[in-house]
Amino acid sequence: MTPKVSIRGLYKIFGADAKSLVPLVQGGMDKATLLDQHRHVLGLQDINVDMQPGEITVIMGLSGSGKSTLIRHLNRLIDPTAGEILVDGTDVMSLDGDALRQMRQKRMSMVFQKFALLPHKTVLENAQLPLSVQGAERKQQDEEGRKWLARVGLDGFEGRYPAQLSGGMQQRVGIARALTANTDIMLMDEAFSALDPLIRTDMQNLLLELQKELQKTIIFITHDLDEALKLADHLVILKDGAVVQQGEPQGILLNPADPYIEDFVSDINRARVLRVRSVMRPLSRDSFDGDVAANSNLEDMIGLSDGDTSLTYRVMDGDEAVGQLDMKDLVKALVPRVSGQDTAA
Amino acid sequence: MARYDAFFDTLGLRDWCDADKTDAPLSMAQLLAQAQGDGGEVETPGLPFPSLDELHQACSKIGQTRDLTEGLENGFLSIRSELKYVLDPITQPLSWMLDGTLFVFESAPWWVMMPALLLLTWFVSRSRAVTWFVTFVLLFFAFIDHYEVAMQTLAIVFVCTGISVAFGVPIGIGMSKSDTAQRSIVPLLDLLQTLPTFVYLIPLIFLFPVTESKLYGIAIILYAIVPVIRLTDLGIRLVDKDVIEAANAFGLTSWQKLTRVELPLALPNIMAGVNQTIMMSLAMVVIASLVSAPGLGVLVLRGIRALDLGVGIVAGLGIVLLAVVLDRVSKAALNRVDTRAKTK
């Protein structure tokens, strides 16, 4: 599969003379030294990420890790110091003003942490914004705007102003606005971070539901590991502007690459996040205590087995048996790996 | 000999100084000294720093202080005709607008003027209370027989505010887009705002005949345009960065960004600037009556000249009343745009 979006050797250094310092950083100078000796801030270093079409790529990191800077490189709200960003094979850096605007209008839309709606426009006018910018016909603007507002559950709110809505509803408008643009790629910058936990769960479910239907390429930024694990098809973990680990989220959870990530994943409710398919073994016997779906999470399994660790289940993906689940493996998988020990037997 | 003789001698400038020495006009200090019978020499007074007058005594090549002001005046006078040649045609429309508007305001019968003003009030403020207030004020002006002069003042304020907004908003937009522009314009605005109001009038009197209405028009506009420029600049700079970023992310052109995002969001601030501009042109219109601006200011001036306390005070209070009216109406308009943006 060719990636939809591909980031190659991306560097971002903040400061007046950034370009000339790239070789130094490529030669291995770290953030602290760069700041100390050259008074330049290293934003991102050597980022290489492929984002597959139809997948949700989650970029996770704590504040200051450079994740918001990274997502802004994709539509060039920030220009990189070195490296390339390929969207459908085109280097975004080669686009001039007009072509760049075209790309922002037609190929990438964005959802913001603070919603960034126009306060003087109604909900409908906000949702129509991408189309009205492109100069679409009134009728089409109206239809599309209403359609997507209805799709995110905002029927009947078309005439309200953003300030009259709750945070969650405002972000629904933000999502409707991004969907109205009808782009293949959606950038979501901490889209749900400003919402309270219950609403956040709602919005995550809404996003997954929409994604099942629309199959967009979504790049989602978050600092919340639970959210990342819930949404990600591909998870990228950033620390101090560099990628520490990327891959399938279950894989990262079970095999954290370094102590930083171990630390990160140690607070997670693993039973809820891990899936049967990640802890199963190849089939090696014939009789089982029952069948389970490959995608059920371990919490469900514990419920199903009633805590009995002597049981073994057959794991089914649709109609096909793909492996077996030993409840003892399951229990082991619940304990986070600590550096130096190896729990994955 | 004078105090700084030694200085010029050491530098070897004596010859240069004394070349074509003429008897320069005496400075005021010398005149005083002469009058006191001390001869031409001046016992230089206290201050230990060199002054132009003192240096002049030692070296006649150095000008006196009065040469400075004289030079300034001569400089201005020497470019006057060129300046006039350029400025006269450019500013001529201002005269036409002022004269035209004054003519309309003076000659339109009350039954056209008053409803028109009240409709305008209602249109911009959408407030019943404000409209009633304006009605009463207009009737009161009629009651004390100041209706016509009040209309003249109002006409001048309208024209000058309109022009200030027409020029000030674009200048403010330009300033908000460029830090260099902001850095270079702000000192100019500071100057315009702090320069004593009478000082505006002096060079203008040299340039234009006092009978021309643009003379006071320019003075009022220069004084009143400052707040609308400042607040447009401020308003646009204060627009939420997140919203601007969103506008960029959805590919708005600069023009779309300006008209759809920045100006509407800066509108409350711009309106506050317009309110200030109105107030300042009203303040200046009184001073402008010194150079033949008609209206309430003329009566104030008459009060001062003839020491006619009553006339002056009534006209002065009339201006206050007019100021309150204009302030209330523009504030009501401001509140209207403000709440629309934030609708609770």
- Residues from chain B that touch A181, judged by Cβ atoms under 8 A, are 250
- Spell out a b/e string for B228-253, using b for 16 or more CB atoms within 10 Å of the CB, else e: bbbbbbbbbbebeeebbbbbbbbbbe
Q: Is B259 on the interface with A (CB under 8 A)?
A: no
Residues of A within an 8 Å Cβ radius of B: 75, 77, 100-105, 108-110, 112-120, 129-130, 133, 161, 163-164, 177, 181, 187
Q: Which amino acid is at A80?
A: P
Which residue of A lies nearest to B256 if distances are taken between CA atoms?
A: A133
- Test A110 with B246 for CB contact under 8 angstroms: yes
- Test A104 with B264 for CB contact under 8 angstroms: no
- Test A101 with B251 for CB contact under 8 angstroms: yes
- Test B243 with A164 for CB contact under 8 angstroms: no
> Is it the case that residue B39 has pLDDT exceeding 50?
no
- Residues from chain A that touch B246, judged by Cβ atoms under 8 A, are 110, 112, 116-117
Between the alpha carbon of residue A184 and those of residues A110, A181, B125, the distances in Å are 11, 9, 46
- Written as six digits, the tokens of A48 are 């290489």
CB B288 within 8 A of CB B219: yes
Q: Is B248 on the interface with A (CB under 8 A)?
A: yes
| CB–CB contacts below 8 A, A to B | 65
CA distance A21 to chain B (A): 27
- Residues from chain B that touch A113, judged by Cβ atoms under 8 A, are 242
- Test B242 with A114 for CB contact under 8 angstroms: yes
Sheet containing A108-111, strands listed edge to edge, beginning at the edge strand earlier in sequence: A108-111, A185-189, A217-222, A56-60, A234-239, A242-247
Report chain A's mean pLDDT, rounded to a whole number.
87
> Is it the case that residue A24 has pLDDT exceeding 50?
yes
Mean pLDDT of the region A19-27: 84
Q: What is the pLDDT of residue B185?
A: 95
Q: Closest to B340 (Cβ–Cβ): which among A108, A109, A120?
A: A120
Q: What is the pLDDT of residues A130-178, one digit of tens each?
A: 999 988 889 999 999 999 999 888 888 988 899 989 888 999 999 999 9
Q: Closest to A161 (Cβ–Cβ): which among B240, B245, B343?
A: B343
Q: At what angle do helices A31-38 and A18-26 cross, to 10 degrees?
A: 140
Q: What is the pLDDT of residue B167?
A: 96
Q: Closest to B250 (Cβ–Cβ): which among A120, A130, A163?
A: A130
What's the CA gap between A35 and A64, in Å, rounded?
A: 15
Mean pLDDT of the region B143-161: 93
* Range in A272-286, A331-345, B107-121 with the lowest mean pLDDT: A331-345
- Greatest CA span in chain B, whole angstroms? 85
- Test B243 with A117 for CB contact under 8 angstroms: yes
Which range among B58-72, B111-125, B202-216 has the greatest average pLDDT?
A: B111-125
Tell the burial category of A108 from Cβ atoms under 10 Å away from its Cβ (0-12, 13-18, 19+).
buried
Q: What is the pLDDT of residues B63-83, one digit of tens each?
A: 888 888 888 888 888 888 888
- Written as six digits, the tokens of B270 are 């711009």
Residues B263, A103, A79, A45: what is their CA dihedral angle, to the nearest 10 degrees? 140
Mean pLDDT of the region B302-330: 91
CA distance B332 to chain A (A): 18
What's the CA gap between A236 and A247, in Å, rounded?
A: 7
Q: Closest to B265 (Cβ–Cβ): which among A104, A120, A130?
A: A120
> Is it the case that residue B45 has pLDDT exceeding 80?
no
pLDDT class for B165, splitting at 50, 70, 90?
very high
Q: What is the pLDDT of residue A344?
A: 46
Q: At what angle do helices B309-342 and B147-177 cross, to 10 degrees?
A: 40
Which residue of A lies nearest to B339 if distances are taken between CA atoms?
A: A120
Q: Is B66 on the interface with A (CB under 8 A)?
A: no
Selection from B252, B143, B6 nearest residue A121 by Cα: B252
For residue A316, report the phi and psi dihedrals to the nearest 5 degrees: -115, 135
Q: What is the pLDDT of residue B344?
A: 45
Q: Is B242 on the interface with A (CB under 8 A)?
A: yes
Q: Please provide the DSSP assignment of A42-66 as one string.
A: EEEEEEEEEE-TT-EEEEE--TTSS
Q: What angle do CA B226, B232, B234 make, to 5 degrees?
A: 100
What's the CA gap between A177 and B286, in Å, rounded?
A: 53
Tell the burial category of A282 from Cβ atoms under 10 Å away from its Cβ (0-12, 13-18, 19+).
exposed
> Is it the case that residue A212 has pLDDT exceeding 80?
yes
Tell the burial category of A285 from Cβ atoms under 10 Å away from its Cβ (0-12, 13-18, 19+).
exposed
What's the CA gap between B120 and B239, in Å, rounded?
A: 29
Q: What is the pLDDT of residue B40?
A: 46
Q: Closest to B250 (Cβ–Cβ): which among A114, A161, A181?
A: A181
DSSP B272: H
Sign of CA dihedral B163, B167, B169, B172: negative
- Test A129 with B251 for CB contact under 8 angstroms: no
Q: Is residue A222 classed as helix, strand or coil in its secondary structure? A: strand
Which residue of B lies nearest to A121 if distances are taken between CA atoms?
A: B341
pLDDT class for A343, splitting at 50, 70, 90?
very low
Q: Is B243 on the interface with A (CB under 8 A)?
A: yes
- Test B256 with A133 for CB contact under 8 angstroms: yes
- Test B341 with A120 for CB contact under 8 angstroms: yes
- Residues from chain B that touch A187, judged by Cβ atoms under 8 A, are 249
- Test B250 with A114 for CB contact under 8 angstroms: no
CA distance A9 to chain B (A): 23
Q: Closest to A118 (Cβ–Cβ): which among B243, B245, B343?
A: B243
DSSP B288: G
Between the alpha carbon of residue A110 and those of residues A113, A176, A179, B321, the distances in Å are 10, 11, 9, 52
Report chain B's mean pLDDT, rounded to a whole number.
87
pLDDT class for B32, splitting at 50, 70, 90?
low
Q: What percent of chain B has pLDDT over 70?
A: 90
Q: What is the pLDDT of residues A76-110, one digit of tens each?
A: 999 899 998 999 888 888 888 889 999 999 899 99
Rounded to two decimals, the pTM is 0.82
